[in-house]
Structure 1
Amino acid sequence: MVSCETPNQKLNYIFSCHLLAQVQIKIGKLEGERKKPSYKSILENPILNYSGAFQHLDVYVTTQIFANNQELCMPVKTSYKHIEKEPWIWDEWLTLPLRISDLPRNALLVITVWDIESPQSGDVPLCGCTISLFDKYGEFRQGSLELRMWPNKVGDGNSKTTTPGLLSDQKEFEIEELNGQTQNISLDEPVNSVQTVGLEEFPMLDELDRLAKMSKYYFEGHMIKQDWLDKITLKEIQNATKKEKQNSKFFFMNIELAQIKCDDVKYKVLYYEENAERIVQTTPNSDLFVVYDPELELTTTCLPPKLGVFFKVLFRKDNIIELKNRKLEHSKQMGLLDMNLKPDTDNKNLLHKIINYPMTRPLKREEQTLLWNYRYYLTQNKKALSKFLQCFDLNLEFEGNTLMELMLKWQPMDIEDALELLGSKYKNYPKIRSYAISRLRYASNEDLILYLLQLVQALRYENFSLPISNKKLPTIKSITTDGSLTVSSSSTKTGSATTSSGIKINQIQASSSTSSAGSLKNKQDYNLDENNFAYSSSPPLATQPILPNRNLLFPTDPQNTFDLNLKSFLFERAIQDEKVALCLYWFVKVEIKDTKALTSSSSSANLVDQQQTIANAHGASSTSNIAGLANQQYPTNTLAARTNFQIFMDELLETLRNGDSRARGIYTSITNQEKFLKTLNDIVKATSREEGRLDKKLQKLKLLLNETSKTQFDLINLDSSTPLIIDPSIKIEGIIAEKTKMFKSNLMPCKFVFKTLPSYHYIDQEYSVIYKIGDDLRQDQLILQMIALMDKLLKQENLDLKLSPYKVVATGTKEGFLQFVDAVPVSNILGEYRGIRDFLKKYNPSETDKYGIKSEAMDNYVKSSAGYIVITYILGVGDRHYDNILMTKCGKILHIDFGYILGQDPKPFQPTIKWTKDLADGMGGLYGPDGKENKEYEDFKKYCCNAFLHLRRHANLILNLFSLMVDANIPGIALEPDKTVKKLIDRFKLDVNDELAQGLLISEIEGNYESFVGNITDRIHHFNTNRR
């Protein structure tokens, strides 16, 4: 038992954890009118004539305690009452089978009034409600309460209840005295204090709430009393309350919770938490009156006069002391003292820990302060900059300028870390995004292609200025019968422009002169100058790849670092490299199709409003001295993304068509690819509509391919300069119709074999692809991109795991190409041979090597098995069975069909790693004849651990790439976009060191080897496959 004295009052309180008394509640009276059933309801159910709506009620009340959406005790009910007139009074105490000490902080009391309707239908709810047993300050409720009861509903015990019942917390007074004596609980032993945690009440914003709160303030002494006026006011409140209740659709119940007293002194019951006595609230709850302070940009509140007028600061994240301390820390005067500040050993270790936090983890105030104090020391650590950005409020002018000064002094970020700055988190800060682009300029075109899919997604968050040049912007819309491209152009007029979709958008300025961009004659170089694009200070298009020269990044004016933009950068690289341009074209085109489909139901009026918002946001000039570090809010929904992608595509095609000879050659390649795809798509669709057996359809397909030689676009004899869509580095000369195949499937995918033009990129004479219509390949495209990236990262560490990341390109939301790999499903191998080793022995025999198999083939099998196990584990690839695990004749394992990722699986309780006895036997099993671990299995585990540790060191790159895909319409990510990165962090085990992470991986592998569910699932899948 504890007492706290303040100058205004004395508070007596005890701990809930020491109160062994059971919860007691008195059911008082119920007010309200039950509506009679409609005549239609009576006709459908005649027994309603004898229900409580027409006859006298036979009702009872049940009470029960819930927490975390679960029942904590059995319901306790009152006796049955035969009620003849209103109000309906019980005046009955109920004791619930739960001690106050056992109540959790979020305990809910659920009350339901039941009516006896008929023996057949059972009892029906008359009304119900839910209240919290502890208020938002952690104080246990005592005394009388008036509750709002929801008609025809059972009290809802869920945390987000649908039947909130609390009207007001009447602690010291009763609206109407309940019959009988107040129940008291005696205390014999002293108790200690408590720390409280806030719990929000349900807001009841109607007239009854207002009247109840006014009465509460009066009886608690928070209002100045005037006897003559108080009598009139209280009578008016009583009349108004009665009138509101009569007009309300709700029932109203009075209850009383037992009061806690010792020696006739009332005690508050506070929920126990450690060290609660320091912050326990001793003041009653009250309304807060908002006062705005423009200087501090804070909100202050004034409490009622009884306690004296004082101000309580309500800041979004920080209190006023922390804010003032932050301003002092970030002042220029303190900066002079911090320049030579060096951390001690403990702070060094803490800084290292903070810098290595995953990207999704926010920094605490103490961690931000530590980074700020040692900012000059950290400028030599390139990994620290992304965390250091969290120390700033980028909307404050002084902090924005300070940040730009420090970023110029900072050791430049790695490219993989700079990708984080292109995400939605910094969509309103173009200066930070510009810094990221300055780092991407160091990437080679080969590396850029590995990130290109994500960079296209980053265009969603760019603040595009609408094109204001006098040129017409073309868009490829369709292909005519003669094989030529139909291009729509956007005409520009003074004060407005029209996009390719026909939507007019106001512009800030436009040239009065006009010129035609429809002809390739009299071309002029298309430079990224201020007359064509948003950022006038963007560097001109380079004709050679950018070399990692710091002078290029920081010319005479270092501020140019913050004047780059993603659109101009991608244009620059597209003109340099045809492969970049073609990949970029198809990535953007698919996004335009996808966003167009998602916004097809939107009205054109909404589209105009959205695009007008974009135009206004981009056209307005900024007067802030932050130099554009923080811009106006920019819409990043699907409609805005569609506009961004369309503008980008229009300007890309215009840039290529009106560029130099190399750019025009790229434009011609795009034209050829479009015509090729349109012709091929029409042929495949015509074949699929053909009735008959598969061999008849195949014959029709070959016939149509050969007949294209009579049209203006011959698929059999293509222009030798046509790049292959799936791999633009390869030039194709035509399709070999005789080698075309169709697979027996619902979608009937087709295999096409191309004649290729030999080059240093590809020396074979043929290239096989699978073309699918009706399947979304974007998820497979993403996973194969990640496998190719991880393969490259491992090879950079001299670890070649013989992976086979075949190529996939989606050309639409329901069509695309896959590279054909000559491999056999493991299920076929296990069905035709005694095991994987027999298959390897047949195609790779050796009289000298172990198991009679060439050592190279066995090495391929061990390494590729390890590589794919680690990669599929990290990416959470599901639905792994022997039909989508393939093997080549040289022993390389590869996985296909990535329909389930990030831990998803169509079957429950599946292992996280596909590692079975059949796969282990392929390398000789786990143990040799002598009982020792097999050498091949030891090598397998070593490769797994080395690959996992190497990829963990590049985890930030993979996390950044996936974070840029969260708004893409990819099924495996769109299901839970906010958890995408978190799932990858969990698989990388970033919260532990390398040694422990390695041990956890081995435990996963060994545990899944003995997975009973996985083995049963394989047998069921094999049985179903054979039956089909």
Structure 2
Amino acid sequence: MVSCEAPNQKLNYVFSCHLLAQVQIKIGKLDGERKKPDYKEIIENPILNFSGAFQHLDLYVTAQIFANNQELCMPVKTSYKYIEKEPWVWDEWLTLPLRISDLPRNALLVITVWDIESPKSGDVPVCGSTISLFDRYGEFRQGPLEIRLWPNRVGDGNLKSTTPGLLSDQRELEIEELSQNVDEGINSGQGNGLEEFPMLDELDRLAKLSKYYADGHMIKQEWLDKITLQKIEDTIKNEKVNSKFFFMSVELAQIECDSVKYKVLYYEENAERIVQIIPHNDLFVVNDPELELDNIIESKNRKLEHTEQMILFDMNLKPDTDSKSQLQKIISYPMTRPLKREEQTLLWNYRYYLTQNKKALSKFLQCFDLNLEFEGNTLMELMLKWQPMDIEDALELLGSKYKNYPKIRSYAISRLKNASNDDLILYLLQLVQALRYENFLSTNSLNIKSITSGSASGLSTTNNSVATSAVPINISSNISSTSIKQTKSDDYDAKNFEYSSSPPLASQTMITNRNLLYQIEPQNTFELNLKSFLLERATKDEIVALCLYWFVKVEINDSKVLSSSASTINLFGQSPSLANAHASSSSSNIAGTANHYSTNNLSARTNFQIFMDELLESLRDGDATARSIYSSITNQEKFLKALNEIVKAVGREEGRMEKKLNKLISLLKSTEKSSFDLMNLDSPIPLIIDPSIKIYGIDSDKTKMFKSNLMPCKFVFKSLPSKHFMDPEYAVIYKIGDDLRQDQLILQMIALMDKLLKQENLDLKLSPYKVIATGVKEGFLQFVDAVPVSNILNSSEYRSIREFLRKNNPSSIDKYGIKAEAMDNYVKSSAGYTVITYILGIGDRHYDNILMTRCGKIVHIDFGYILGQDPKLFQPTIKWTKEFADGMGGLNGPDGKENKEYEDFKKYCCNAFLQLRRHANLILNLFSLMTDANIPGIALEPDKTVKKLIDRFKLDLTDEQAQYSLIKEIENNYGSLVGNITDVIHHYNTNRK
């Protein structure tokens, strides 16, 4: 430390190279106002409704040091602090992991304020700024500073920063240089690129004047200075309010010794000896901006290969043994794996040979540039000659990948038409999600034939003119329009089923064809669309219609539904001019509908709303069957509304559980005197959770409430016997406040896998109970009459699974004193759920959400964590514990050999795994259609959803290798130490509650 004395002053200073203290900064107050997004941005990105840009949320600040355009340390951020209202005040000291002695002369401090918009989009910058830690004279900055922050930018740590932050008398030299550049740009009449954030504003001018005054460069007039300084202060406040910038007060730690403050001057020992040396390496990285671009030579070669002249040479070409092996390998690739150029060439060369392989078409589509006219014609020709795809493979063509190619989607619909209604219901949840990728305006404008054409449905029909050549043509068509009464999307109940239809309007539309219209075969394979297909099935089958209604209604009610871009179609669809012509129709009714639904950027929610409107109209104005279905929907809505009001009223009731239960029963019985009697319905209605069953009332005496925060209610419905369900009662659990869509998806997959296994004569005694979400936060679950395994193990009556089986299924002749049927149920169901929970990555498996029926079947419930997610760390991928093994007699018998039941268990696991691997493409396609659905387990990492399933299916292994991998997984997870500890902790926490 050094002291320099002058006649009237004393200067205390210390060199920076001698200070080992870390850099510290205090984050103070942030002033400014965020610009709120306009309605267009909110429509395109509904998540903005919940971001800090639209409503007040807590923000956080990061600080980081840069030098020479590089980071010198990791960023440090403020801790969480609840801030009730603006301005944001942190008053928190941050210590950066860098000593003052290690700072270079040009060190910069970068400050950024962040907001979290959504888990998917991540952190969003609110504003950012950059200040130099040493001023132009080499003095380390200390004490309070007020800095400017640039909105919607991350602090720029480059030497020529684009986010300079100093406004006071300690402004950085770079700011003044930038200001000079601005002056030069203004004087020369050229733009400075900073019109949105001008540097030479009133705040800068006043800051300079204040600096000149403080430095003694102005003549002081005491009486006038007092007035002027007050005026400057008021002006600064007003300018801040009107400024586009944010302003933050910060404070850099001051250096003191014995209560004496010291200045810190930059100094580096032996700096004169430092020579910059550029190292020489044998290998060095060259930045090639063209590295990721297509090779123009290869692209030209591919186009030449696809020309008409080359086709004649390929029609009779057949692969040799090596090529066949390579083709088979390519066809077996998972759907997410892109093809290399060499693989695409191989598929193209043998395309006529491959037309007999129905599995090859989905891979063959990757060989085409779908924006080229000739290749589009070739594809249409080959698709009609190709061996028809399986339905499970055709689902891939309905995903987002082909959303701009309606003719490819139409081909997929032509394959779906062969599916039975039972199979269709298994895929219906995903087909509803595929509606978000449909271009409804394109469909309406092209005027595809009405689904009820020629029938007595009552819907308006249209006349179609089909293009027979790829040249501009005129199409005369009758465009029907529906005037829809506007209702809240989340209030779709029976009282809102009012629609009015306007008469058809003749319209003359000119289509200017650019590679868009191709000759269409008589089969109309490429005229189909998903909306018409689903409406056709719904008007003919009640179960399909009711399931479809509830699936679509939930999507409409979901405020977080993502936008699905219905961008301009480039191939196999309508031209932009057609959409514009339709939108600008002279009919005000047509124009109003087009404007309401937007022509170029329909949201997924709007797609669902349009579909719902047409579904209800088709049922209401259809034939007798359709009108009967419409009546069932109306009755279901009335029933649910009455039940919902009762449950919510009970939820508001204070008191013990017994009091609430009595209140629930009394409210149910009170409906006997109302217009809608829940106890005894006027006529049977389809059960919402399973429309194949008709119910005619509720048995109030068997109603029950569960002890839980959400207080789910058990209701027993009085049902009519049918060929599918002979019991006189059907028990369900009704929950409000819980999103059941993830459980609904997993139970759908379990039911699908159960059906696939049974088709291979492998019945593993699974129990895929029914689940349906009737809203974003409500729904029904089928009640399963089973006992949690935790209750069995902790019961003084049983103590073990084997004892539970013995007492509920006693036998004097069968092994272990247990009926052979019960032991068979236990072994098979254990194997089935072991494989399924492993494939789907079901997490949080503990003894409370694994149940057991009295006949020995294992049942898994509560699927809050999927695809490898788990609330606890290092959990086993398979829940296979000593308690489960003991239930089937243990791993080994008395003779030391492997127990027969355990041997059967592993055999069932392997057989199930291999059979499901053969249908992996179906499961992958169904999950890929759910990637944009607002399901927590998928929305967290939608781009990795399918990949996680591929990893679990072990599709890169042979069947023998896959079996071995599964057995090793089971054996390695047996008696997992981490799993056992987790079970003990969970049991302890449960007992405490």
Q: TM-score, normalised by structure 2?
A: 0.66
2:360 to 375, 384, 397: 384
- Structure 1 369/900 Cα, relative in aligned 2: closer, same or farther at 3 Å? same
Whole-angstrom CA distance in 2 between matches of 1:357 and 1:900 = 28
Q: Which residue of 2 aligns with 1:619?
A: 579
Cα deviation for residue 916 of structure 1 reads 0.1
1:985 to 950, 965, 972: 950
Q: Is the 8 A contact 1:709 1:717 kept in 2?
A: yes
Of residues 468-477 and 994-1003 in structure 1, the stretch that sits farther from structure 2 once superposed is 468-477
- Structure 1 939/914 Cα, relative in aligned 2: closer, same or farther at 3 Å? same
1:654 to 617, 620, 640: 617
The answer as to 2:540 corresponding to 1:576 is: yes
- Structure 1 368/108 Cα, relative in aligned 2: closer, same or farther at 3 Å? farther
Whole-angstrom CA distance in 1 between matches of 2:743 and 2:333 = 30
1:680 to 635, 643, 654: 643
CA-to-aligned-CA distance 1:235-285 (integer Å, 9 cap, x gap): xxxxxxxxx9xx9x9x9x99964256xxxxxxx634279xxxxxxx7xxx8
Whole-angstrom CA distance in 2 between matches of 1:388 and 1:781 = 34
Aligned residue for 1:999, secondary structure, equals helix
Cα deviation for residue 486 of structure 1 reads 2.8
- Structure 1 357/996 Cα, relative in aligned 2: closer, same or farther at 3 Å? same
Aligned residue for 2:717, secondary structure, equals strand
Q: Which residue of 2 aligns with 1:906?
A: 871
Q: Which residue of 2 aligns with 1:33?
A: none
Q: Which residue of 2 aligns with 1:469?
A: 480
CA-to-aligned-CA distance 1:139-193 (integer Å, 9 cap, x gap): xxxxxxxxxx973499xxxxxx98765889xxxxxxxxxxxxxxxxxxxxxxxxx
Q: Which residue of 1 aligns with 2:815?
A: 850
1:642 to 599, 605, 618: 605
1:53-92 correspondence runs (5 A): 58-59=16-17
- Structure 1 707/353 Cα, relative in aligned 2: closer, same or farther at 3 Å? same
CA-to-aligned-CA distance 1:968-1006 (integer Å, 9 cap, x gap): 000000000000000000000011111111111111101
Whole-angstrom CA distance in 2 between matches of 1:60 and 1:319 = 57
Aligned residue for 1:810, secondary structure, equals strand
Q: Which amino acid aligns with 2:749?
A: M
- Structure 1 756/793 Cα, relative in aligned 2: closer, same or farther at 3 Å? same
Whole-angstrom CA distance in 1 between matches of 2:486 and 2:550 = 13
- Structure 1 414/607 Cα, relative in aligned 2: closer, same or farther at 3 Å? closer
- Structure 1 412/899 Cα, relative in aligned 2: closer, same or farther at 3 Å? same
Q: Which amino acid aligns with 2:535?
A: F
Q: Is the 8 A contact 2:801 2:884 kept in 1?
A: yes
Q: Is the 8 A contact 1:477 1:486 kept in 2?
A: no
Q: Which residue of 1 aligns with 2:964?
A: 999
Matched-pair identity in %: 71
1:817-966 correspondence runs (5 A): 817-832=780-795, 833-966=798-931
Q: Which amino acid aligns with 1:447?
A: D
Q: Which residue of 2 aligns with 1:426?
A: 402
Cα deviation for residue 473 of structure 1 reads 4.0
Aligned residue for 2:931, secondary structure, equals coil
Q: Which residue of 2 aligns with 1:143?
A: none
Q: Which residue of 1 aligns with 2:132?
A: 151
Q: Which amino acid aligns with 1:345?
A: T
Q: Is the 8 A contact 1:794 1:800 kept in 2?
A: yes
Whole-angstrom CA distance in 1 between matches of 2:577 and 2:933 = 24
- Structure 1 725/511 Cα, relative in aligned 2: closer, same or farther at 3 Å? farther
Whole-angstrom CA distance in 2 between matches of 1:742 and 1:814 = 18
Cα deviation for residue 706 of structure 1 reads 1.0
Q: Which residue of 1 aligns with 2:668?
A: 705
2:418 to 420, 442, 463: 442
Aligned residue for 1:991, secondary structure, equals coil
List runs of 5+ in structure 1 lacking aligned partners: 1-48, 63-106, 131-148, 155-160, 169-203, 212-243, 261-267, 274-280, 289-313, 494-508, 513-529, 532-554, 623-633
Cα deviation for residue 720 of structure 1 reads 3.5
CA-to-aligned-CA distance 1:881-925 (integer Å, 9 cap, x gap): 000000000000010000000000000000000000001100000
Cα deviation for residue 719 of structure 1 reads 3.6
Root-mean-square deviation (CA, aligned residues, Å) is 4.2
Whole-angstrom CA distance in 1 between matches of 2:971 and 2:598 = 48
Q: Which amino acid aligns with 1:577?
A: D
Aligned residue for 1:960, secondary structure, equals helix
Q: Which residue of 2 aligns with 1:87?
A: none
- Structure 1 971/762 Cα, relative in aligned 2: closer, same or farther at 3 Å? same
Q: TM-score, normalised by structure 1?
A: 0.64
Cα deviation for residue 765 of structure 1 reads 0.5
Aligned residue for 2:862, secondary structure, equals coil
1:118-197 correspondence runs (5 A): 123=100, 125=103, 127-128=106-107, 151-152=132-133
- Structure 1 795/678 Cα, relative in aligned 2: closer, same or farther at 3 Å? same
Whole-angstrom CA distance in 2 between matches of 1:779 and 1:207 = 58
Cα deviation for residue 207 of structure 1 reads 10
Q: Which amino acid aligns with 2:281?
A: V
Q: Which residue of 2 aligns with 1:269?
A: 281
Q: Is the 8 A contact 2:719 2:728 kept in 1?
A: yes
Q: Which residue of 1 aligns with 2:932?
A: 967
Whole-angstrom CA distance in 2 between matches of 1:442 and 1:971 = 33
Cα deviation for residue 804 of structure 1 reads 0.1
- Structure 1 643/922 Cα, relative in aligned 2: closer, same or farther at 3 Å? same
2:496 to 486, 493, 514: 486
Q: Which residue of 2 aligns with 1:785?
A: 748
Q: Which amino acid aligns with 1:708?
A: T
Q: Is the 8 A contact 1:741 1:752 kept in 2?
A: yes
1:6-21 correspondence runs (5 A): none
Q: Is the 8 A contact 1:110 1:129 kept in 2?
A: no
Cα deviation for residue 954 of structure 1 reads 0.4
Whole-angstrom CA distance in 1 between matches of 2:890 and 2:630 = 55
Cα deviation for residue 730 of structure 1 reads 0.3
The answer as to 2:304 corresponding to 1:328 is: yes
1:370 to 332, 343, 346: 346
The answer as to 2:605 corresponding to 1:586 is: no
Whole-angstrom CA distance in 2 between matches of 1:393 and 1:479 = 42
Cα deviation for residue 597 of structure 1 reads 5.4
User: How many residues are matched?
Assistant: 716
- Structure 1 256/900 Cα, relative in aligned 2: closer, same or farther at 3 Å? farther
Q: Which amino acid aligns with 2:794?
A: G
- Structure 1 943/109 Cα, relative in aligned 2: closer, same or farther at 3 Å? same
CA-to-aligned-CA distance 1:793-813 (integer Å, 9 cap, x gap): 000000000000000000000
Aligned residue for 1:817, secondary structure, equals strand
CA-to-aligned-CA distance 1:806-857 (integer Å, 9 cap, x gap): 0000000000000001000000001111200110111100000000000000
Q: Which amino acid aligns with 1:335?
A: I
Whole-angstrom CA distance in 2 between matches of 1:442 and 1:351 = 28
Q: Which residue of 2 aligns with 1:66?
A: none
Whole-angstrom CA distance in 1 between matches of 2:804 and 2:927 = 38
1:258 to 270, 277, 283: 277
Q: Which residue of 2 aligns with 1:804?
A: 767
Aligned residue for 2:711, secondary structure, equals coil
Whole-angstrom CA distance in 2 between matches of 1:636 and 1:873 = 44
Cα deviation for residue 487 of structure 1 reads 3.1
Q: Is the 8 A contact 1:471 1:492 kept in 2?
A: yes
Cα deviation for residue 511 of structure 1 reads 5.9
- Structure 1 729/817 Cα, relative in aligned 2: closer, same or farther at 3 Å? same
CA-to-aligned-CA distance 1:546-565 (integer Å, 9 cap, x gap): xxxxxxxxx99346111100
Q: Which residue of 2 aligns with 1:746?
A: 709
Whole-angstrom CA distance in 1 between matches of 2:941 and 2:697 = 43
Q: Which amino acid aligns with 1:928?
A: G
Q: Is the 8 A contact 1:916 1:1010 kept in 2?
A: yes
CA-to-aligned-CA distance 1:468-525 (integer Å, 9 cap, x gap): 52544468769999x96233546769xxxxxxxxxxxxxxx9469xxxxxxxxxxxxx
Aligned residue for 1:747, secondary structure, equals coil
Whole-angstrom CA distance in 2 between matches of 1:349 and 1:635 = 49
Aligned residue for 2:683, secondary structure, equals coil
- Structure 1 259/786 Cα, relative in aligned 2: closer, same or farther at 3 Å? closer
Q: Which amino acid aligns with 2:683?
A: S
